[in-house]
Chain A
Amino acid sequence: MATEQAMLEEEELVLSELNDDELVEQMHEDLYDGLKEEIVEGTSILLKRNWSAEKVLNESLVEGMRIVGVDFRDGILFVPEVLLAANAMKGGMEILRPLLSESGIKPIGKMVIGTVKGDIHDIGKNLVAMMLEGAGFEVTNIGINNSVEDYFQALEKHQPDILGMSALLTTTMPYMKVVIDEMVKQNIRDDYIVLVGGAPLNEEFGRAIGADRYCRDAAQAADVAPEMVRARRRGAISRA
């Protein structure tokens, strides 16, 4: 009975009839529930009401995903729910991205992520990609078994802020150093933030191979990534 009533109420909800504050609040709820269509609709409505893309991004999407992140960290939300939320966020981002770049607003960040050569472990890496998408990143997931050439091709094509590498085997994690050394050799190391992760790594290993940070899990990666992108941009601005 109760659920039936709730469904009826939901059916009656017309997003365009809500005022701005109500709509933003509703979008936070809809992100939480992973409702992609509703997020796409809400995003369009706000834009039609002359909200700037940046304002939509920050007040509705990023803030909504922040709440999702907190409840994921606290064990209230489950992985499949976060996956849905991130997917809904992606729906909104697809509309906003061209507008943001038109108005010269830097995206929150871009990342290329893949598992290194010889390694097929990808569950953790996929979680990291999901969390970063949830944090508003544009993530290109290049899968497993990636050689130096594969990483370089992806860097060239997508020009990300961050290169993320994952390895789960002690027999493959040294390959991360091969990639970083090659970046140094080709003089492109400083063009990217390099984050590494995977269960057999540790902080010391991350330092030893010349990565910028080792991330112990997906939630930490999602915290660290935007922070580092912002810091790097601040650095870039002050240098300019």
Chain B
Amino acid sequence: MIDSPRPRRTASRAGRTVRAGRARKLAARQRGIADEFVSWIDRRIPCFEVLDAEALELIERNADTVLEEVGVEFRDFPRALELWKDAGADVDGERVRFPRGMCRSLVTATAPREFTQHGRNPRRSTIIGGERTVMVPGYGPPFVHDLDQGRRYATIEDFRNFVKLAYMSPGLHHSGGTICEPVDVPVNKRHFDMVYSHIKYTDKPFMGSVTHPERAADTVAMAKLLFGEDFLVHKTVVTSLINVNSPLTFDATMLGAATVYAESNQATVISPFLLAGAMSPVTVAGTLTQILAEALAGMAYIQLVRPGAPVVFGSFAAAVSMQSGAPTFGTPEPSLILYGAGQLARRLGVPFRSGGGLCASKLPDAQAAYEAANTLQTAALAGVNFMLHAAGWLEGGLSMGYEKFIMDADQANMIAILLQGIDLSENAQALDAMREIGPGSHFLGAAHTHANFETAFYRSNVADNNSFEQWQQDGSLDAAQRANGIWKQMLRDYEPPPLDPAIDESLVDFIARRKSEYADRDY
């Protein structure tokens, strides 16, 4: 028999000992969410796979054909061409063609299967790869959206707000990167403020700047101040988003940033970022082939720069509306691409990035919710290791939504439970419960229920499951309106994780010095 836990005598009131029933439960149930240290999801269910071995070999063969016949351009970046020439690739102008199997063997020889990305709080360090999923907020939007003010250009205050919200969301294990673009800070200096916010207002791991090699170098310098120079020699503390300028092109901006990170052993997420139909063929098989070819070329390049530097096989696939050219999200074809790309990454033995709460909706409405749910679930089942854009994404990445962020974070919590699979422990088998209750009756009072009810079922903080009358009494709010109240409360409750004042000072000094070294520029 399982005993239901007995309240212990804990407090004394007016000279006599009392059992602190209410206070104890209140404290337990309102525990600060930021105190929970879950740094990734351990997946214990199989990945959903859509391609058999023969199909995978076909895609791999075709990708090799593309790499060999068509090749990949490495534009305005002579260093890459030299490295490729030395490695034995055929370099023709800026076009690089690769002997069959070359990229694959470069990647499999030295790229790690998984790697730890350290957080400044070691309990937040996360592992990217293997049977794990790390949930990461949205990236890149120039606008923000909330129910009170609608859509507007993002500011550094919005940026800080989202860093705080991610910090307080237990289902998000990472602080992300350009969580929104703070357009009120000069273009050539905003990376300082963004990286500093990721250091100051959270202790979760974060992503660095990629919009200029110098900005990548500044990110690395700041990471060294935070972790210590030596720490970075063999350890990874920054991940970075390196997009392929598809089809089959890497540009100097991305190559420059990627090279800086790889040289200092920091991680690059090499992402073919495809709007199928415009940037890749209109078919799933064709797009998968291109994704594999591009990811292989990019990851192999990183291994040439520094063998063993952590890389992630990225994939972002959406389709364009053939009627207008606009990107679409949460539709079935990109889901198939996502499942297939996950399989290709696993066969290669590198971590896989994809997915997120993608949608094209402008508001946190039904379209936003179902498109996002489609992609989140697909990504979870596809075995994604690094799920960028997991929270907040609206409007094809043009807008970061406050309410949408809360709704997606709720989904992220659910995904964690889904991926953990079915508990088959003796307690979970619950035979005792059935023996105790027998036919008829109900389980609400069973000892087994008592022992398990608090954590038995996921409780959404956004969904409303009350009676119509109760819901009406609570103000007849829809999900977005409830989420509006939640993010505001979270920001009111936010308390920053402590940061060593000496380190903080050194960062502030560094930023002030660097900012004074050159003039503000707005491009």
**B131: Cβ under 8 A from any A Cβ:** no
From residue 82 to 132 of chain A, which have CB atoms closer than 8 A to chain B?
116-118, 120, 123-124, 127
Known: A170-B181, A174-B523. A78 touches B323 (CB 8 A): yes
A118 adjacent to B324 (CB under 8 Å): no
B367 CB–A CB distance under 8 Å? no
Report A-chain residues with C-beta under 8 Å of the C-beta of B245.
120
> Does A142 lie at the interface of the complex (its beta carbon under 8 Å from any beta carbon of B)?
no
Contact indicator B251/A120 (Cβ below 8 Å): yes
The answer to whether A79 touches B325 (Cβ under 8 A) is yes
Question: Looking at the complex, which one of B143, B322, B522 makes contact with A79 (CB distance below 8 Å)?
Answer: B322
A residues contacting the other copy or chain, number (CB 8 A): 25
* B279 adjacent to chain A (CB < 8 Å): yes
Chain B interface residue count, Cβ-Cβ cutoff 8 angstroms: 22
Query: Within 8 Å CB of B278, what residues of A?
Result: 123
* Chain B nearest Cβ from A169, distance in angstroms: 8
Contacts A120-B251, A199-B398, A200-B142; A171 near B325 (Cβ below 8 A): no
Residues in A with CB closer than 8 Å to B211 are 169, 171
Task: State the Cβ distance, B76 to closest chain A Cβ, in Å.
Answer: 9
Q: Known contacts A117-B523, A171-B181: does B279 contact A123 (CB below 8 Å)?
A: yes
CB closest residue in chain B, given A179 = B523
Indicate whether A218 reaches chain B with its CB closer than 8 angstroms: yes
Main secondary structure of the interface of A (DSSP, over half): loop
Contact A171 B523 (CB under 8 A): yes
Contact B253 A118 (CB under 8 A): yes
The answer to whether B143 touches A175, judged by C-beta atoms less than 8 angstroms apart, is: no
Confirm or deny: B183 has a beta carbon within 8 angstroms of a beta carbon on chain A. yes
Q: Whole-angstrom distance from the CB of B509 to the nearest CB of chain A?
A: 26
Enumerate the 10 nearest inter-chain pairs by beta-carbon distance, A residue then B residue, closest first.
A174-B522, A175-B523, A200-B142, A170-B142, A78-B322, A171-B187, A170-B181, A174-B523, A75-B323, A123-B278
Task: Show 27 A/B contacts (Cβ-Cβ < 8 Å), sorted by A.
Answer: A72-B323, A75-B323, A75-B324, A77-B323, A79-B323, A79-B325, A80-B322, A116-B523, A117-B523, A118-B253, A120-B245, A120-B251, A120-B253, A127-B325, A169-B142, A169-B211, A170-B153, A170-B181, A170-B187, A171-B181, A171-B187, A171-B211, A171-B523, A174-B187, A174-B523, A175-B522, A177-B522
A residues sitting closer than 8 Å to B (CB atoms) are 72, 75, 77-80, 116-118, 120, 123-124, 127, 169-172, 174-175, 177-178, 199-200, 217-218
